[in-house]
Structure 1
Amino acid sequence: MNSAHTIKFLKFPFQFEVEKLQAEVTGILQKSWIPHFNQDGYSGEWKSLALYSADGKEENIIALNEPNLIPTGLLKNGSYLGEVIHHFECPITSARLLRLGQQACIKPHKDYNLGYENGTFRIHVPIFTNPYVRFVLDGTVLEMQEGQCWYTNVNYLHSVSNEGMSDRIHLVIDYQRNDWSDRLFFSLAPRERLFPNEGNQYSAETVARIIDELKLIDSEGARTAILELENSLARL
């Protein structure tokens, strides 16, 4: 499919309670937020706190995109942030608060394997923002408002700038795709428009034949290719 016709973002038809989100995050603003590790990728202040991590520590902000994460101490019983995270009935592979300071910017970049076609997807819930925040995804400016919920395919080039006089804080969650998310996504957009390369994919029968041929080759490369093809076959 022509990438110009591919859906690269979605605004979901539900709204979270801004006052609850802001009250909860205001209570942790004084914590020691961790500067983002890719310091060449931004200017100004870009900091984070983990809500889920491999070891349950809020300072562990690296998104490994692996399931079986542990909630950190920021998610107490009755946490509204936790309620928002679990609105999506999917395995969580990362959940963080991302804070972009005043006059800061995240330089144009692409993330890896974080589009719906990869079996994973990223969600943004703005908690604090201002009219001078500019989020650009593949040339399109996304006007994300507080309490809204957005899918962004960050395999595409994207950048963020905050020219305002207040910090911009988003809840950013990565999930694994499953049947629940398929029902949601495909109710909002045709499947073929969410998958930029699907028009060029082999049929399931052809993929199965390729796998059979590769099984005759005893090499690490063949075994890796088989695993990738089996994963793609499961999504056909």
Structure 2
Amino acid sequence: MAKMKLTSHIKFDLKFDEEKLQKDLSVLLENSWIPHFNKNNYEGEWQAIPLYAPDGDQKNIFALGNDKSLKPTPLLSQCPYLEEVINSFKFPILSARILKLGVGVHIKPHQDHELGYEDNNFRIHIPIITNEHVRFILNGERLIMLPGECWYTNVNYTHSVSNKGDIARIHLVIDGERNAWSDQLFFSKAPKESFVKSPAKMTENTIIRTIEELKRSGLDKKSELVKNLEVDLKKLRSSIKNAPR
């Protein structure tokens, strides 16, 4: 029996209005962009504007949930169509951000921590502005995401992005928590059995960088997550040390 292919990405049948997305984006462009916190992972201008954040703090672009209640930031009230798009997803929102990849930016190959559908947390991309020279590589495959489309990407897999075009690449990026509504959406496009823990593992450097960024973020009560990552790091180092040579 052939082994079932695991699902690393999905292009959903959902389609959003490109013109309305860009109209709301024009309002946000007048605001200050915040550099992405993981500065070891990229070269150039990678910036964010939060639309959902802990306590609605529009200066907090950190993507992982925490004990503070997630609320819309004041900026979202100025963007009725973006708010409509986000509200159309009937799962708990963990974060919603506008992410901008500037001209010439390269995000180095890396993996995120437990952000695949099988982990009960997941990431959705809705491109607003892009160009044909953007290269998003996920698990060795190039994904071409066009404005108004809706994509799931399992960023547990190694991925990288570069923008060699002459305009910025700007996406609405939503992190969600799995529920019955999202199950119906996902399983309409891929078998339930294809969402299992992938063989992809975080590298030692990725775990170290993640721990450093969590500590640097200064968010409350992250110690349990850091502790778990430190255990993973210890196990990984032990497995490398004891591996047959």
Q: TM-score range by the shorter chain?
A: 0.7 to 0.9
Give the Cα separation in 2 of the matches to 1:195 and 1:121: 13
Root mean square deviation, CA, Å: 2.1
1:40 aligns to what? 40
Residue correspondence of structure 1 range 182-197 to structure 2 within 5 A: 182-196=183-197
Give the Cα separation in 2 of the matches to 1:83 and 1:27: 16
**Unaligned regions of 5+ residues in structure 1, if any?**
199-223, 225-236
Q: Secondary structure at the match of 1:5?
A: coil
Q: Which sits farther off after the overlay, 58-67 or 45-54? A: 58-67
Preserved CA contact (<8 Å) 1:66 1:94: no
Q: Secondary structure at the match of 2:161?
A: strand
Measured after TM superposition, the shift of residue 66 of structure 1 is 4.2
Give the Cα separation in 2 of the matches to 1:41 and 1:3: 33
Measured after TM superposition, the shift of residue 129 of structure 1 is 0.3
2:83 aligned with 1:82, yes or no?
A: yes
Measured after TM superposition, the shift of residue 77 of structure 1 is 6.5
Give the Cα separation in 2 of the matches to 1:33 and 1:92: 21
1:134 aligns to what? 135
2:147 aligned with 1:146, yes or no?
A: yes
Preserved CA contact (<8 Å) 1:110 1:157: yes
Cα 1:21–1:38 shift into 2, 3 Å: same
Counterpart residue identity of residue 33, structure 2? W
Residue correspondence of structure 1 range 2-17 to structure 2 within 5 A: 5-17=5-17
2:231 aligns to what? none
Residue correspondence of structure 1 range 158-197 to structure 2 within 5 A: 158-196=159-197
Measured after TM superposition, the shift of residue 7 of structure 1 is 1.1
Which structure's CA Rg is the greater one? 1
Preserved CA contact (<8 Å) 1:65 1:174: no
Q: Secondary structure at the match of 1:74?
A: helix
Counterpart residue identity of residue 74, structure 1? L
Counterpart residue identity of residue 196, structure 2? F
2:71 aligns to what? 70
Post-superposition Cα deviations, 1:7-51, rounded to whole Å, max 9, x if no partner, equal 100000011000000011012212110001111110010000100
Q: Which runs of 4+ in 1 moved over 6 A?
A: none
Preserved CA contact (<8 Å) 2:115 2:123: yes
Give the Cα separation in 1 of the matches to 2:95 and 2:35: 17
2:105 aligned with 1:104, yes or no?
A: yes
1:208 aligns to what? none
1:120 aligns to what? 121
**Unaligned regions of 5+ residues in structure 2, if any?**
200-227, 229-245
1:58 aligns to what? 58
Identity score, percent: 53
Cα 1:149–1:180 shift into 2, 3 Å: same
Cα 1:78–1:105 shift into 2, 3 Å: closer
1:22 aligns to what? 22
Q: Secondary structure at the match of 1:188?
A: coil
Aligned residues: 199
Give the Cα separation in 2 of the matches to 1:78 and 1:18: 14
Cα 1:91–1:3 shift into 2, 3 Å: farther
Q: Secondary structure at the match of 2:188?
A: helix
Counterpart residue identity of residue 31, structure 1? N
